[in-house]
Amino acid sequence: MRRWGLIEAGLPLQEIARRVYRPDLYADALAPAGAPIPASDMKSEGEHAGAWSLPASPGPIAMGPDLFCDGAVFDPASVS
């Protein structure tokens, strides 16, 4: 959203994302059902032209291509 100017600069974006997007709730709800839980709470987007696997437990998650039309890569670790 920041990339396209939909939210203002200077906000603590990583802190807001941690409070809004709750992968811990996902893991708590689905782990007892045996659903694969990603090994990391964040991942880059826009790096894969074809199928790939996301590390998870108990086994990897099959992922599809995630390229953006403009060729950009989004790395959540680089968001300030």
d(CA 40, CA 38): 5
pLDDT of residue 1 exceeding 80:
no
Domain count, the chain: 1
Residue 49 in any domain: the answer is: no
Residue 18 in any domain: the answer is: yes
d(CA 32, CA 13): 31
d(CA 8, CA 60): 36
Residue 12 in any domain: the answer is: yes
Mean pLDDT across the chain, nearest whole number? 90
pTM of the model: 0.74
State mean pLDDT over 25-40. 94
Residue 59 in any domain: the answer is: no
Query: Both tokens of residue 11?
Result: 């906000």
Output the pLDDT for position 33. 95
d(CA 9, CA 2): 7
Structural domain of 32 = 1-36
Residue 76 in any domain: the answer is: no
pLDDT band, residue 80 (cuts 50/70/90): low
pLDDT band, residue 24 (cuts 50/70/90): very high
